[in-house]
Amino acid sequence: MGKFLTMREIHQAVDAIQTRIDIQPEVGLILGSGLGALAESVDDAVIIPTAQIPHWPISTVEGHQGRLVIGRLEGVAVIVLQGRTHLYEGYNISRVTLPVRVMQRLGCEKLVVTNAAGAINPDFVPGDLMLITDHINLIGMAGANPLIGPNLEEFGPRFPDMSQPYDRDFLAKAKLVCNESGLAYQEGVYVSLSGPSFESPAELRFLRGIGADAVGMSTAPEVIVARHGGMRVLGVSGISNKANLDGSTMTTHEEVLEAGTVLAPKLTTLIRGFLAKL
Ligand code: HPA
């Protein structure tokens, strides 16, 4: 395994999936920690454990099942990743984004990405949905951009534009769904860190200062790769905990997973409503 993903590896992963499905997925969905429930209700589901796909970065985190579910939601052909892999598991960041490359090669032009996130914005509380309006890819700005390495010309240019990482029309559709179904929502900027340690109070105050509303350990790398390949993206954070800017409380992974039980049904309503509007 080389440092960076190659077209050959991507093709081999795609082939392993394509031989087992007979639909062409239109929308890719990536479900975050504790938020995998939506995958259980996919119609005509074909389930592929990611461990059976060549070159797949295997997820080891509790709350992440590591499987692809291919089928239909609201009549839309989807491929759902339940259990993403994170940078902190030790893979090169370009390998962490293999699932997005595979979705692109399978024909998906749209991506819905979700995550569990800590609230930096003091107005947010656990259980809130936050529609992601923009991101700060702090890990990428610090040298772990998923597009570092040979550019895969088949997908996109060496220097891709990032003026609209999250599609404005998708964002408008998501708000419409929330309004129609009485779902409260927040909007804000998501900052991606590597983890696995949670943030210190000083780091959180820094993140607040640079304009972040929610913090987590995923998403921006996937979205950058999605945009590089021309996908349109909807991003949603499930707020799982309040980040402790004054050091008065602790953050735990159990807390993050617990919030999922409140968040998962809300996300299901939002994503199903969104898919129905495509
Ligand atoms: N910090 C970083 N990542 C997270 C958090 C957090 O507070 N909550 C869920 N993912």
CB count in 10 Å sphere of residue 19: 8
For ligand 1, whether the C-beta of 99 sits within 6 Å is no
Give mean pLDDT, residues 245-255. 81
For ligand 1, whether the C-beta of 194 sits within 6 Å is no
Q: What is the pLDDT of residue 250?
A: 81
| Measured distance CA(31)–CA(35) in Å, rounded | 6
Instruction: Provide the residue range defining the domain that includes 257.
Output: 7-277
User: Which sequence positions are flagged as catalytic?
Assistant: 33, 64, 86, 88-89, 116, 217-218, 241, 253
Q: Decide which of 223 and 36 is more confident.
A: 223
Residue 130's alpha-carbon distances to 185, 191, 235, in angstroms, are 6, 13, 9
Q: Tell me the pLDDT tens digit for each residue of 170-217.
A: 999 999 999 999 999 999 999 999 999 999 999 999 999 999 999 999
Radius of gyration of the chain, Cα coordinates, nearest whole angstrom: 17
pLDDT at 60 over 90: no
Percent of the chain topping pLDDT 90: 84
Q: What is the pLDDT of residue 230?
A: 98
Residue 179's alpha-carbon distances to 73, 174, 210, in angstroms, are 21, 9, 30
In a domain, 239, yes or no: yes
Give mean pLDDT, residues 149-154. 96
Strands 186-192 and 129-136: parallel
Contact of 218 with 88, CB cutoff 8 Å? no
In a domain, 1, yes or no: no
| Measured distance CA(172)–CA(175) in Å, rounded | 5
CA of residue 44 to ligand 1 center, whole Å: 34
In a domain, 2, yes or no: no
In a domain, 242, yes or no: yes
Q: Tell me the pLDDT tens digit for each residue of 69-95.
A: 999 999 999 999 998 899 999 999 999
Q: Which atom of ligand 1 is nearest to the CA of 217?
A: 3
Q: Which of 38-47, 61-70, 75-84 has the lowest mean pLDDT?
A: 61-70
| Measured distance CA(270)–CA(185) in Å, rounded | 10
pLDDT at 271 over 80: yes
Q: Tell me the pLDDT tens digit for each residue of 97-150.
A: 999 999 999 999 999 999 999 999 999 999 999 999 999 999 999 889 999 999
pLDDT at 18 over 80: yes
Q: Decide which of 247 and 32 is more confident.
A: 32
Q: What is the pLDDT of residue 260?
A: 84
Total domain count for the chain? 1
Q: What is the pLDDT of residue 63?
A: 53
Q: Which of 4-13, 80-89, 241-250 has the lowest mean pLDDT?
A: 241-250
The whole-model pTM stands at 0.95
In a domain, 228, yes or no: yes
In a domain, 138, yes or no: yes
* CATH number, residue 158: 3.40.50.1580
